[in-house]
């Protein structure tokens, strides 16, 4: 029995066989004295195997994938037959004694660099496909299994180093009972995906040394994963799982009712979504609207940017899952922990502090305009609002407002049906925005506090690095100070303020946020029933004194103790 302690990232308990998903390639051996005949044969065999594999993915996914995803598969198949690519690899093998995997890597890297520098947008976008293809060939040569969740017959506990948005989009998620990663924190992508589909997850467990198929208990409530449990442990967890599921069912039965505190304050519990499916789940879990639509999902795993029409259709479909509610759509937030294949971001020394999100989109009309046009059209007959990510200066908000105004005016002049006046709000997720929240509140139509990034930047602690996860804590008094400042600024200016970071879905923080005056909580759909239940058991009046007490604390753990005692006493 092996016990791994990590970070509880998504509630629930699952028990199932281990499925090892390794996206990271190990170090590739480089030789200059390999036998050319042998290596050439290995290379040709891997080309055949990868071609067959691509065909089988295509066959299986027919009818389920967007046409562009097929295009990626087709492009990769074409490349496999491309003489120039293949011949360069063969030359390295034949004339320089290179082993096949090293030759593939060398040539792939060169082609990726070449494509990335081309003027033509289409070819620039192909670079990611080439990189992915090279990866497939190398995996095959090194006998590292290509992930094929589609072949599984029972749901598995997926174990990986870490998962990116493009990894998870290809997964057949009904085959995944739970996720566990070596890296990551409670705000990393794995955690967000697991919560949004409502499966348990534990992240940041450190090295996973487990054999394929081993029985895994995954306790997302306590942040524990147990491999090869003994009989007694297994029996105990089966019992816990049954109890946990029963409680969830009870909460779900009450989820559609509004969340009204014991002293009669209506709290809006809305959802963070990233696809049409998750918007449907949000409706099932009792969401009062959508507080954060992460528009990145439209850009994942596809070679070309989505056009206006496609975005309009997707936004409308999502908004229509929750009719007559408010839907807040965040403009494209790429960079840092979020990358998409159709946008080649030049390598930066420090991408988390780099040219990303609003900094990038304001300079790229091809990214900004179609998205805004689609949003203004969706808002013509719905309450759809535009939210800008990663705003650090007033100039960014002003520039965005001006550009949106120009687009709005030209669409109106053309007779396109758009909303009367676009509502433009900002994420408060960079400390500078929280510090001058008063100034922002005079110009923004609403705020939404993004605690995931606010913690990361306030505490200088990478949200994807499990070693500093403890530091990036939303209960840290420094973070609480900025949250309170932002809520106060919005209230003084009379604009709505919500929170869409993971703190909003954590029961431990609910009384404190109610006390600070927060009235809109946006979270992963699976967290809604529990937060609504917590709100109903609390009275805002009782929560208010917590604010000063917590702000005067020296550490996050002191704050946690106070809040836990308060919740236990209810
Ligand atoms: C945040 O930063 O808190 C947030 C909600 O956005 P994301 O997690 O997508 O960065
Ligand atoms: Mg963010």
Q: Whose CA is nearest to atom 7 of ligand 1?
A: 452
* 36-141: in CATH 1.10.274.10: yes
Higher pLDDT, 131 or 94: 94
HEC assignment per residue over 66-81: CHHHHHHHHHHHHHHH
Name the residue ranges covered by the structural domains of the chain: 2-23+147-232, 36-141, 260-568
Q: Which pLDDT score is estimated for 460?
A: 97
Angle among Cα 83, 86, 88 to the nearest 5 degrees reads 100
The answer to whether residue 409 scores a pLDDT higher than 70 is yes
pLDDT tens for residues 546-567? 999 999 999 999 999 999 999 9
Among 136-145, 294-303, 548-557, the range of highest mean pLDDT: 548-557
Ligand 2 centre from 563 Cα, in Å?
A: 25
Higher pLDDT, 520 or 184: 520
d(CA 314, CA 317): 5
Q: Which pLDDT score is estimated for 333?
A: 95
Identify the band that residue 466 occupies on the pLDDT scale cut at 50, 70 and 90.
confident
Specify the ligand 1 atom closest to the Cα of 502: 3
Q: Which pLDDT score is estimated for 59?
A: 74
Ligand 2 centre from 282 Cα, in Å?
A: 20
Q: Which pLDDT score is estimated for 75?
A: 78
Angle among Cα 13, 14, 17 to the nearest 5 degrees reads 155
Ligand 1 centre from 361 Cα, in Å?
A: 17
The answer to whether residue 166 scores a pLDDT higher than 60 is no
Retrieve residue 53's tokens: 């594999």
Q: Catalytic: which of 189, 268, 321, 419? A: 189
Q: Catalytic: which of 180, 269, 455, 500? A: 500
Cβ(165) – ligand 1 distance below 6 Å? no
Q: Which of 37-51, 185-199, 287-301, 449-463 has the lowest mean pLDDT?
A: 185-199
Cβ(294) – ligand 1 distance below 6 Å? yes
The CA-atom distances, in angstroms, between 143 and each of 22, 130, 401, 535 are 12, 20, 52, 52
Distance of CA 231 to the CA centre of its chain: 36
Cβ(337) – ligand 1 distance below 6 Å? no
Q: Which pLDDT score is estimated for 531?
A: 98
Cβ(451) – ligand 1 distance below 6 Å? yes
Higher pLDDT, 268 or 148: 268
Q: Report residue 292: phi and psi, to 5°.
A: -155, 110
Cβ(189) – ligand 1 distance below 6 Å? no
Q: Which pLDDT score is estimated for 12?
A: 95
Closest CA to 291 of 371, 400, 385: 385
Identify the band that residue 124 occupies on the pLDDT scale cut at 50, 70 and 90.
low
Q: Which pLDDT score is estimated for 498?
A: 98
Q: Which of 20-24, 339-343, 527-531 has the lowest mean pLDDT?
A: 20-24
491-497: Cβ within 8 A, 24+ apart:
491/517, 492/438, 492/441, 493/438, 493/441, 493/442, 495/425, 495/441, 495/444, 495/445, 495/446, 495/447, 496/425, 496/446, 496/447, 496/520, 497/446, 497/447, 497/448, 497/449
Beta-sheet pairing, 447-449 with 497-499: parallel
373-397 as b/e: b if 16+ CB within 10 A: bbbbbbbeebebbbbbbbbbbbebb
Cβ(223) – ligand 1 distance below 6 Å? no
Ligand 1 centre from 329 Cα, in Å?
A: 13
Ligand 2 centre from 446 Cα, in Å?
A: 16
* 260-568: in CATH 3.30.70.660: no
Q: Which residue has the tokens 């449907």?
A: 280
Q: In 3-state terms, what secondary structure has residue 166?
A: helix
Q: What would the mean pLDDT of 156-185 be, rounded to a whole number? A: 81
d(CA 545, CA 528): 25
347-356: Cβ within 8 A, 24+ apart:
352/456, 352/462, 356/390
d(CA 475, CA 479): 7
Q: Give the chain's length.
A: 570
Specify the ligand 1 atom closest to the Cα of 501: 3
Q: What would the mean pLDDT of 309-327 be, rounded to a whole number? A: 97
Entry pTM:
0.81
Q: Which of 13-22, 337-346, 471-480, 540-549 has the lowest mean pLDDT?
A: 337-346
**Residues 302, 66: contact at Cβ < 8 Å?**
yes
Q: What would the mean pLDDT of 168-175 be, rounded to a whole number? A: 70
Q: Which of 36-45, 54-63, 356-365, 429-438 has the lowest mean pLDDT?
A: 54-63
d(CA 75, CA 129): 7
> Which stretches does DSSP call E strand in 265-367?
266-273, 290-294, 326-330
Distance of CA 299 to the CA centre of its chain: 12
Specify the ligand 1 atom closest to the Cα of 456: 2
Q: Indicate if 355 belongs to the active site.
A: no
Closest CA to 369 of 338, 340, 410: 410
Cβ(335) – ligand 1 distance below 6 Å? no
Cβ(429) – ligand 1 distance below 6 Å? yes
Q: Whose atoms come closest to the Cα of 449: which ligand?
A: 1
d(CA 226, CA 256): 35
| CA end-to-end span of the chain | 38
Q: Which pLDDT score is estimated for 196?
A: 80
Identify the band that residue 62 occupies on the pLDDT scale cut at 50, 70 and 90.
low
Q: What would the mean pLDDT of 143-154 be, rounded to a whole number? A: 67
- Mean per-residue pLDDT over the chain, rounded: 91
Angle among Cα 482, 484, 485 to the nearest 5 degrees reads 60
Q: Indicate if 266 belongs to the active site.
A: no
Specify the ligand 1 atom closest to the Cα of 296: 9
Ligand 1 centre from 556 Cα, in Å?
A: 20
Instruction: Among 3.50.30.10, 2.40.160.40, 3.40.50.2020, 3.30.9.10, name the CATH number for the domain at 2-23+147-232.
Output: 3.50.30.10
Q: Which pLDDT score is estimated for 453?
A: 96
Beta-sheet pairing, 326-330 with 290-294: parallel
**Residues 292, 281: contact at Cβ < 8 Å?**
no
Q: Which pLDDT score is estimated for 35?
A: 94
Q: What would the mean pLDDT of 37-59 be, rounded to a whole number? A: 88
Most ligand 1 atoms within 8 A of CB, residue of 295, 328, 450, 502 to mutate = 450
The answer to whether residue 337 scores a pLDDT higher than 80 is no
d(CA 103, CA 89): 5
Cβ(500) – ligand 1 distance below 6 Å? yes
Cβ(108) – ligand 1 distance below 6 Å? no
d(CA 268, CA 97): 66
Cβ(501) – ligand 1 distance below 6 Å? yes
Ligand 2 centre from 399 Cα, in Å?
A: 20
Q: What would the mean pLDDT of 338-362 be, rounded to a whole number? A: 87
Most ligand 1 atoms within 8 A of CB, residue of 271, 337, 501 to mutate = 501
Q: Whose CA is nearest to atom 6 of ligand 1?
A: 450
Q: Which pLDDT score is estimated for 513?
A: 98
Q: Which pLDDT score is estimated for 191?
A: 86
The answer to whether residue 459 scores a pLDDT higher than 90 is yes
The answer to whether residue 65 scores a pLDDT higher than 60 is no
Ligand 1 centre from 416 Cα, in Å?
A: 32
Kindly state the greatest CA–CA separation across the chain.
80
Most ligand 1 atoms within 8 A of CB, residue of 294, 455, 464, 522 to mutate = 294
Q: What would the mean pLDDT of 215-240 be, rounded to a whole number? A: 97
The answer to whether residue 245 scores a pLDDT higher than 80 is yes
């Amino acid at each position: 029995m092996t016990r791994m302690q990590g970070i509880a990232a998504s509630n629930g308990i699952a028990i199932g066989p281990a499925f090892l998903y390794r996206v990271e390639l190990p170090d590739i051996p480089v030789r200059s004295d390999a036998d050319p005949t042998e290596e050439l044969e290995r290379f040709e065999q891997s080309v055949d195997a990868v071609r067959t594999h691509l065909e089988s993915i295509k066959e299986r996914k027919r009818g389920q994938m967007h046409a562009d995803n097929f295009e990626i598969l087709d492009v990769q198949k074409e490349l496999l037959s491309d003489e120039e690519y293949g011949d360069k690899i063969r030359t390295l093998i034949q004339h320089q004694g290179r082993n096949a995997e090293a030759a593939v890597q060398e040539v792939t890297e060169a082609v990726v660099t070449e494509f990335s520098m081309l003027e033509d947008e289409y070819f620039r976008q192909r670079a990611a496909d080439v990189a992915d293809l090279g990866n497939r060939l190398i995996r095959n040569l090194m006998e590292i299994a290509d992930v094929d969740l589609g072949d599984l017959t029972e749901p598995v506990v997926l174990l990986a180093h870490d998962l990116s948005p493009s990894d998870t989009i290809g997964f057949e998620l009904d085959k995944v009972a739970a996720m566990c990663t070596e890296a990551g924190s409670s705000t990393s992508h794995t955690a967000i995906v697991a919560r949004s589909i409502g499966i348990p997850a534990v992240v940041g467990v450190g090295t996973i040394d487990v054999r394929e198929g081993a029985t895994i208990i995954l306790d997302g409530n306590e942040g524990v994963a147990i491999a090869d449990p003994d009989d007694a442990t297994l029996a105990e967890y089966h019992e816990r799982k049954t109890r946990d599921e029963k409680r969830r069912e009870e909460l779900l039965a009450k989820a559609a009712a509004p969340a009204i505190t014991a002293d009669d304050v209506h709290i809006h519990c809305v959802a963070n979504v990233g696809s049409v499916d998750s918007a449907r789940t949000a409706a099932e879990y009792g969401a009062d609207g959508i507080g954060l639509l992460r528009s990145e999902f439209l850009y994942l795993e596809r070679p070309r940017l989505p056009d206006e029409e496609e975005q309009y259709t997707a936004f409308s479909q999502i908004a229509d899952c929750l009719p007559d509610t408010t839907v807040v759509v965040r403009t494209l937030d790429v960079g840092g922990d979020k990358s998409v294949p159709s946008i080649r971001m030049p390598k930066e020394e420090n991408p988390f502090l780099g040219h990303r999100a609003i900094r990038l989109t304001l300079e790229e009309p091809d990214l900004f305009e179609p998205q805004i046009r689609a949003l203004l059209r969706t808002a013509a007959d719905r309450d759809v609002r535009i939210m800008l990510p990663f705003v650090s200066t007033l100039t960014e908000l002003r520039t965005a407002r001006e550009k949106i105004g120009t687009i709005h005016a030209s669409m109106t002049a053309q007779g396109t049906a758009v909303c009367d006046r676009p509502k433009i709000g900002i994420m408060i997720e960079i400390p500078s925005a929280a510090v001058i929240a008063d100034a922002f509140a005079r110009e923004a139509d609403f705020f939404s506090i993004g605690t995931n990034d606010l913690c990361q930047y306030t505490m200088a602690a990478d949200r994807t690095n499990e070693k500093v996860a403890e530091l990036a804590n939303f209960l840290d008094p420094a973070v609480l100070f900025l949250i309170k400042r932002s809520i106060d600024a919005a209230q003084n200016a009379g604009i709505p303020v919500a929170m869409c970071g993971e703190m909003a879905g954590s029961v431990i923080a609910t009384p404190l946020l109610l006390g600070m005056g927060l009235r809109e909580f946006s979270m992963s759909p699976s967290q809604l029933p529990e937060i609504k239940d917590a709100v109903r058991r609390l009275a805002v009046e009782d929560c208010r004194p917590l604010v000063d007490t917590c702000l005067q604390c020296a550490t996050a753990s002191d704050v946690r103790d106070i809040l836990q005692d308060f919740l236990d006493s209810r």
